[in-house]
């Protein structure tokens, strides 16, 4: 039975995955990265493109207050989705890369800039906006390593749609005229984007032509305007209407700008800006205040004055347009109506007329029916899931860890949480891997430094000055200390990587008890059980306080003044009608009494009360019965049930009282069974599914995720509650319906992930048989009958299987993505959670859990996931060497053969050792190699039900090339394990371990091998990522720095050496890679066939996106560049022969010729000053010097693409031609 409130929530329509928009405040680099992680990295909608250091990118094409912009061209092998439509893919097109303008100090970034960037990211990633056809598409993100004033840093880069026609003003300034209908459609595009923002509770607040880009991806369609730049946008539920509205660019703002405005006025101001933009569009991009009507000493001020008189402004706008003759008279009425709807007084402004030009774009629901996104403030130093950080670049992990360790200038509570985050990151070895000393090639930090972890954990628990400390740290300190410092019974063969163990407990028992009491009061079940073991009396005191003053949720929900008076004088509650709400939360006197545990008051209140009054819900849908159950008041729950309270009424997150059976920690099994039976008889659904509880204290809310009452019992580790529920028939395998939000889909999986062997044994011995995932016993990842469909789609080169092979895709979806129970156990909850739950017994619990599952017939070691990951391969994801070593030692027959069984999977790694390498897990990597070394032969792929038959194995032996672990293919991206080692980690240990045991000839062949997709070689890959120690290791084993590769188009003569390749990348990592190569003796010639030099490549770098179709040697875009790479090259290649080398395969051109042809005065200046000879000729239709080319440049040489941008752009080209000529004159002089 659903409550009316819960039903009302559902009637609003589906919520996108239960997503709640989190509003963050970011103060420094680390907090910014964490916010970026929450918004982008954790969102499966966006694709991660890895590091941009190995991508050839353009020069800077634009820079603003928040971002710097460059171009990148997707290859034919790379596609990005433009919506959830499976057939929607952008392939081999140009996209924009946006770098946030962050200049990091020790622990500070200008807060205003950070706020703007965070706002931009929050808007563009909003679920209600990111697929809107009139808002710039965001495809994904990448990471970029660069040198800043504070040292080397890794920054995120956003990949988004490229507006090839520039801003709407630039588009309108093009030579050809734009028709009226097209102009109105462009204005309608903008209106629809703004309307979408408003529907989702956001005001743009900075609408102007510069923030509107024009695209045309298909020649058969019209140009389309798309809205961008949301850094000044305002989330309406965060707007303070008492403060002056200052955001925006004044001329384009409404008259109410620079005054306090309501949220409705903010939206109406956007509408007004749309009117001014429409005016500018109709003026072919001219600024309205540049018209004759506003001529004065200060036209902009005149314009501002006229804006205050709507009628005068409209008269001027319509009058000018009529006089200009650009609009047919018969359509002037239409235009006049548009202006009147947009530029009128605030209350009458409307987008309706502009929206009507494209009614098909309007969303189905009415704007009034759509609630703005829910926002909640979250401390940026609280990390809900540390596993996300494992996948960040190694150096970025280090930056975050250091920022947390050395935090300053934050509120005391946030500082304590930062120390807790640093402690957990150190325990999980996130950000701990560093060179042993500056300049050292040896890396440390792969082991857990117990002393360091406990020191940080202690600092977090103690807090700063008068603060109370981190509740999370206080709750877990004791058991994590025991786990790190105390030996436990373990079987032989289990390895651990804990070092530097302190000799004694770092804090006193008294302090431990104090911390545990506070954490218990705030809702930690870990602290509660620990305190109960150490001091039962202190536990009872804390439990009582938690159940009463802290409302059973770890928060003082009744601490408001409206409740305090009644609680202080309980007789006043008796004077209130039982159904009367006291405060904004909707609690009645019955709710209050039920929460604080006063059964005497309840007994009086319910006398003569109707069932409707007894079951009244507050605004969260909670009844008094629910609150009494949540607070663990057994006698009150019994009484309320006896007088007619219903347990079938659900809260707004669909909880019923049975979900809180775990709250009765002090009751025995018999008492709890009796209560549970009564609750079920009263309407509670034993299999009812709730969503995450958002009322509970945020520090311990993770233990109240969605699911059935049994799931809640497992999450809160309430064995008695779980046993009672199982006795009553609860299904441990009932799906929690949380989708991809959680790895554990049901109660049994939760127990496996927690290594809760006691709970797992309860489930395995229950009357409910083990329910394996849907794919169990089925060959392949989809039904084999659809194999032909898949093969056909593959041969045709279809972009996605989802659209090209729908039957196979649907079959895959039906089989699901769950793991087996063993899969959950070997890739369990993070180590700090298991240590906090089990203390010194965490290893014993791991062993018992795995052994229990290994004995089940349904649990197979060769496949624990839908995509054929074996147990040993899947265990690598745990990053826990104790699990991996236990599997290899205790179950060698099931695990060791899988070390050489190359199985493709969703992990894109075929072998377990490759997966360990990709995760940077050196201890596991070394362990796996000790069982199967780099020279070990790889077997033909064995996949149960697919290739494990004699025919398949025979075919694979015949047609599959022989390989070793070192030479085995990794994925489509990485040719072999050596290529992988060159790309994923700065520690050369991985590379040395792979190469040291190979025959020298084989090692040399592998380190010079070419990739299949990018034609890359390992040394270029290492240098692109600044893995210079890895590059040194490659050279040690025979890598040739003159090996020509990186032939992306696979055309003859286009291969280049590593020096040429890194110069072509033209990114923030180029200068470091160039310097390394020059120090190692790289030559100036980067392409022997054509005679191309590094100097020529440096001049041309970054302009590959600006090649004209009509004048291929002259760029279509002008740059004002500094050329640090060319300057560095000239220090080594300054001899006459090197400076004046003629590329015989390119008409004998010199670097100086290239400098002129690429219209780069700085290159010409540097080369001439270095001694380049301007008299050398290139052989075109006639012999010509670089200076002669410069002198001959005129308007005919301006590329057609530039001419299309208008006369201003042509003038810029002519000025550039003059500057080039002056360079030769100045040098000759």
Averaged pLDDT, 216-244 = 83
Tokens 């039904």 correspond to what residue? 783
For 208, the token pair is 């102007």
- Which runs of consecutive H residues, i.e. helices, occur in 816-942? 821-826, 831-838, 842-854, 871-876, 881-890, 892-895, 912-918, 922-931
Tens-digit pLDDT profile for residues 519-558: 999 999 999 999 999 999 999 999 999 999 999 999 998 8
Residue 467 scores a pLDDT above 80: no
Mean model confidence pLDDT for the chain: 86
Please tell me which residue, 92 or 658, carries the higher pLDDT value.
Answer: 658
* Confidence class for position 5, pLDDT limits 50, 70, 90: very low
pLDDT of residue 487: 59
pLDDT of residue 309: 82
Averaged pLDDT, 57-84 = 73
* Confidence class for position 959, pLDDT limits 50, 70, 90: confident
pLDDT of residue 83: 56
Burial of 188 (0-12, 13-18, 19+ CB in 10 A): buried
pLDDT of residue 79: 61
For 110, the token pair is 């200008």
pLDDT of residue 1167: 96
pLDDT of residue 962: 86
For 504, the token pair is 């004694």
Residue 110 scores a pLDDT above 70: no
Tens-digit pLDDT profile for residues 450-460: 999 999 999 99
Averaged pLDDT, 494-500 = 92
Q: Of 389-393, 1078-1082, 1186-1190, which range is least confident?
A: 389-393
Q: How far is CA 816 from the centre of its chain?
A: 24
* 599-603: long-range pairs with CB below 8 Å, 24+: 599/633, 599/635, 599/636, 599/639, 601/570, 601/573, 601/574, 602/636, 602/639, 602/640, 603/639
For 76, the token pair is 């034919």
Residue 520 near residue 527, CB atoms below 8 Å: yes
Q: What is the dihedral of CA 931, 983, 1029, 403, to 10 degrees?
A: -100
pLDDT of residue 81: 60
Tens-digit pLDDT profile for residues 123-171: 888 888 888 889 988 888 888 876 654 556 777 888 888 888 888 988 8
Q: How far apart are CA 646 and CA 634, in angstroms?
A: 15
Averaged pLDDT, 379-385 = 61
Averaged pLDDT, 1083-1103 = 92
Averaged pLDDT, 506-512 = 93
* Confidence class for position 1228, pLDDT limits 50, 70, 90: low
Q: How far apart are CA 555 and CA 540, in angstroms?
A: 18
Q: How far apart are CA 1124 and CA 1105, in angstroms?
A: 20
Tens-digit pLDDT profile for residues 591-646: 999 999 999 999 999 998 999 999 999 999 999 999 999 999 999 999 999 999 99
Q: What's the alpha-carbon Rg for the chain, to the nearest Å? A: 34
Buried b (16+ CB within 10 A) or exposed e, 1106-1124: bebeebebbbbbebebebe
Domains and CATH numbers, the chain: 22-162 (3.30.200.20), 168-224+241-367 (1.10.510.10), 381-487+495-507 (no CATH), 860-953 (1.25.40.20), 972-1070 (1.25.40.20), 1083-1229 (1.25.40.20)
pLDDT of residue 373: 39
pLDDT of residue 17: 32
* Confidence class for position 893, pLDDT limits 50, 70, 90: very high
Residue 14 scores a pLDDT above 50: no
Q: Of 687-691, 750-754, 1222-1226, which range is least confident?
A: 1222-1226
Decide: helix, strand or coil at residue 1115.
Answer: strand
Q: How far apart are CA 1216 and CA 584, in angstroms?
A: 68
Q: How far apart are CA 475 and CA 456, in angstroms?
A: 14
Residue 957 scores a pLDDT above 70: yes
Please tell me which residue, 101 or 993, carries the higher pLDDT value.
Answer: 993
Q: How far apart are CA 719 and CA 762, in angstroms?
A: 9
Residue 379 scores a pLDDT above 90: no
Averaged pLDDT, 362-384 = 48
Instruction: Please choose, from the candidates 447, 444, 389, 379, the residue with its C-alpha nearest in 3D space to the C-alpha of residue 414.
Output: 379
| 941 φψ region: left (φ > 0), alpha (ψ -120 to 50), beta (else) | beta
pLDDT of residue 15: 31
* Confidence class for position 1050, pLDDT limits 50, 70, 90: low
Residue 201 scores a pLDDT above 60: yes
pLDDT of residue 834: 97
The DSSP secondary-structure symbol of 681 reads H
Instruction: Please choose, from the candidates 191, 377, 164, the residue with its C-alpha nearest in 3D space to the C-alpha of residue 273.
Output: 191
pLDDT of residue 194: 95
Averaged pLDDT, 355-363 = 86
Q: Of 285-289, 393-397, 520-524, 994-998, which range is least confident?
A: 285-289
Integer angstrom CA distances of residue 385 from 38, 50, 576: 10, 21, 45
* Confidence class for position 53, pLDDT limits 50, 70, 90: confident
Averaged pLDDT, 40-66 = 76
Element (H, E) at 77: none
Element (H, E) at 375: strand 375-377
Averaged pLDDT, 229-243 = 84
The DSSP secondary-structure symbol of 696 reads S
Tens-digit pLDDT profile for residues 670-716: 999 999 999 999 999 999 999 999 999 999 999 999 999 999 999 99
Residue 106 scores a pLDDT above 80: no
pLDDT of residue 195: 95
Residue 104 near residue 146, CB atoms below 8 Å: no
- Count each helix (H run) and each strand (E run) in the chain, helices first: 56, 22
Decide: helix, strand or coil at residue 611.
Answer: helix
Q: Of 341-350, 1114-1123, 1145-1154, which range is least confident?
A: 1114-1123
């Amino acid at each position: 039975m659903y409550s009316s409130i819960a039903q009302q929530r559902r009637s609003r329509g589906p919520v996108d995955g239960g997503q709640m928009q989190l509003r963050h405040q970011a103060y420094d680099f680390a907090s910014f990265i964490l916010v970026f992680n929450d918004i982008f990295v954790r969102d499966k909608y966006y694709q991660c493109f890895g590091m941009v250091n190995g991508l050839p990118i353009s020069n800077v094409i634009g820079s603003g207050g928040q971002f710097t912009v460059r171009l990148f061209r997707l290859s034919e092998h790379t596609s990005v989705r433009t919506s959830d439509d499976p057939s929607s893919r952008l392939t081999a097109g140009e996209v924009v890369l946006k770098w946030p303008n962050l200049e990091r100090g020790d622990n500070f970034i200008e807060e205003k800039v950070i706020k703007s960037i965070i706002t931009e990211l929050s808007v563009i990633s909003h679920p209600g906006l990111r697929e809107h056809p009139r808002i710039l598409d965001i495809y994904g993100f990448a990471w970029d390593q660069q040198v800043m004033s504070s040292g080397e840093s890794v920054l995120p880069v956003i990949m988004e749609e490229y507006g090839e026609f520039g801003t709407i003003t630039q588009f309108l300034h093009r030579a050809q005229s734009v028709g009226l209908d097209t102009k109105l459609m462009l204005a309608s595009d903008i209106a629809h984007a703004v309307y979408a923002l408003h529907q989702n509770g956001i005001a743009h607040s900075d609408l102007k032509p510069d923030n509107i880009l024009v695209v045309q991806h298909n020649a058969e369609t019209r140009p389309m305007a798309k809205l961008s730049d949301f850094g000044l946008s305002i989330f309406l539920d965060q707007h303070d209407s008492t403060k002056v509205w200052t955001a925006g660019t004044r001329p384009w703002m409404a008259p109410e700008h620079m005054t306090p405005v309501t949220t409705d006025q903010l939206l109406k101001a956007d509408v007004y800006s749309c009117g001014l933009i429409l005016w500018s569009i109709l003026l072919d991009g001219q600024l309205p205040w540049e018209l004759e009507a506003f001529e004065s000493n200060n036209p902009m001020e005149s314009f501002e004055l006229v804006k205050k008189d709507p009628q005068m402004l409209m008269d001027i706008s319509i009058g000018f347009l009529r006089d200009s003759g650009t609009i047919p008279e018969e359509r002037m009425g239409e235009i006049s109506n548009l202006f009147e709807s947009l530029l009128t007084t605030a209350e009458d402004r409307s987008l309706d007329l502009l929206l009507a030009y494209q009614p098909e774009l309007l969303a189905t629901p009415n704007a009034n029916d759509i609630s703005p996104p829910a926002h909640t403030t979250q401390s940026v130093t609280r990390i809900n899931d540390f596993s996300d950080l494992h996948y960040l670049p190694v150096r970025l992990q280090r930056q975050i860890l250091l920022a947390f360790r050395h935090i300053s200038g934050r509120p005391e509570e946030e500082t304590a949480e930062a120390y807790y985050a640093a402690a957990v990151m150190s325990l999980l070895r996130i950000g701990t891997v560093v060179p042993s000393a500056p300049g050292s090639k040896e890396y440390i930090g792969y082991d857990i430094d117990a002393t360091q972890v406990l020191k940080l954990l202690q600092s977090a628990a103690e807090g700063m000055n008068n603060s109370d400390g981190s509740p999370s740290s206080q709750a877990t300190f004791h058991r994590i200390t025991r786990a790190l410092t105390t030996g436990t019974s373990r079987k032989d063969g289990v390895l651990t990587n804990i070092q530097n163990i302190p000799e004694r407990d770092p804090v006193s028992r008294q302090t431990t008890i104090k911390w545990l009491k506070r954490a218990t009061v705030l809702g930690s079940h870990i602290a509660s059980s620990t305190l109960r073991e150490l001091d039962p009396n202190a536990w009872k005191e804390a439990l009582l306080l938690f159940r009463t003053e802290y409302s059973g949720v770890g928060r003082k929900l009744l601490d408001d003044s409206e409740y305090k008076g009644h609680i202080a004088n309980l007789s006043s509650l008796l004077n209130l009608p039982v159904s009367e709400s006291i405060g904004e939360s909707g609690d009645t006197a019955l709710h209050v009494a039920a929460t604080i545990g006063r059964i005497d008051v309840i007994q009086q209140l319910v006398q003569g009360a109707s069932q409707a009054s007894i079951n009244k819900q507050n605004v969260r849908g909670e009844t008094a019965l629910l609150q009494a159950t949540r607070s663990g008041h057994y006698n009150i729950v019994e009484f309320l049930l006896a007088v007619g309270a219903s347990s079938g009424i659900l809260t707004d997150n669909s909880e019923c009282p049975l979900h809180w059976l775990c709250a009765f920690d002090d009751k025995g099994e018999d008492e709890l069974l009796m209560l549970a039976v009564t609750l079920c008889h009263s309407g509670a659904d034993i299999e009812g599914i709730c969503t995450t509880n958002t009322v509970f204290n945020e520090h311990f809310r993770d233990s109240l995720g969605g699911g059935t009452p049994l799931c809640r019992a497992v999450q809160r580790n309430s064995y008695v509650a779980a046993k009672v529920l199982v006795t009553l028939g609860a299904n441990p395998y009932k799906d929690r319906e949380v989708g991809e939000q959680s790895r554990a889909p049901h109660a049994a999986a939760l127990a496996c992930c927690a290594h809760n062997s006691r709970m797992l044994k309860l489930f395995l011995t229950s009357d409910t048989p083990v329910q394996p995932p849907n794919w169990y016993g089925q060959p392949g990842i989809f039904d084999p009958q659809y194999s032909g469909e898949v093969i056909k789609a593959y041969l045709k080169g279809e972009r996605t299987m989802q659209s090209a092979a729908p039957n196979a895709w649907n079959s895959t979806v039906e089989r699901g993505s769950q793991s087996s129970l063993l899969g959950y156990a070997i890739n369990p909850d993070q180590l700090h959670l298991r240590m906090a739950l089990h203390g010194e017994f965490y290893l014993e619990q791991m062993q018992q859990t795995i052994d229990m599952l290994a004995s089940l017939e349904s649990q197979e070691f060769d496949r624990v996931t839908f995509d054929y990951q074996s147990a040993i391969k899947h265990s690598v994801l745990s990053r826990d060497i104790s699990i991996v070593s236990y599997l290899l030692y205790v179950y060698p027959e099931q695990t060791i053969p899988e070390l050489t069984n190359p199985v493709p999977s969703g992990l894109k790694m075929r072998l377990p050792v490759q997966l360990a390498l990709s995760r940077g897990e050196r201890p596991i990597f070394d362990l796996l190699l000790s069982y199967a070394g780099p020279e070990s032969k790889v077997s033909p792929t064995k996949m149960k039900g697919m290739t494990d038959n004699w025919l398949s194995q025979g075919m694979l032996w015949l047609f599959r090339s022989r390989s070793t672990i070192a030479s085995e293919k990794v994925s489509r991206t990485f040719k072999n394990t050596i290529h992988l080692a060159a790309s994923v980690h700065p520690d050369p240990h991985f590379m040395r371990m792979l190469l040291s045991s190979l025959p020298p000839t084989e090692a040399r062949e592998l380190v010079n091998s070419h990739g299949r997709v990018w034609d890359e070689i390992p040394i270029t890959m290492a240098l692109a990522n600044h893995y210079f120690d890895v590059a040194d290791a490659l050279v040690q084993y025979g890598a040739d720095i003159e090996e020509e590769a990186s032939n992306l188009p696979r055309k003859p003569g286009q291969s280049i050496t590593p020096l040429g390749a890194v110069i072509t990348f033209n990114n923030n990592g180029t200068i470091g890679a160039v310097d390394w190569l020059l120090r190692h003796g790289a030559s100036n010639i980067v392409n022997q066939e054509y005679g191309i030099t590094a100097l020529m490549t440096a001049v041309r770098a970054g302009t590959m996106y600006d090649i004209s179709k009509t004048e291929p040697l002259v760029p279509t875009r002008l740059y004002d560049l500094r050329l640090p790479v060319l300057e560095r090259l000239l220090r080594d290649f300054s001899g006459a022969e090197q400076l004046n080398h003629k590329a015989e395969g390119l008409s004998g051109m010199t670097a100086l010729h290239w400098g002129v042809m690429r219209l780069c005065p700085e290159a010409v200046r540097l080369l001439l000053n270095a001694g380049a000879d301007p008299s050398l000729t290139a052989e075109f239709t006639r012999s010509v010097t670089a200076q002669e080319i410069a002198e001959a440049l005129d308007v005919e040489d301006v590329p057609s693409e530039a001419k299309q941008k208008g006369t201003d752009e042509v003038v810029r080209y002519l000025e550039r031609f003059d500057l080039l000529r002056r360079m030769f004159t100045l040098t000759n002089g």
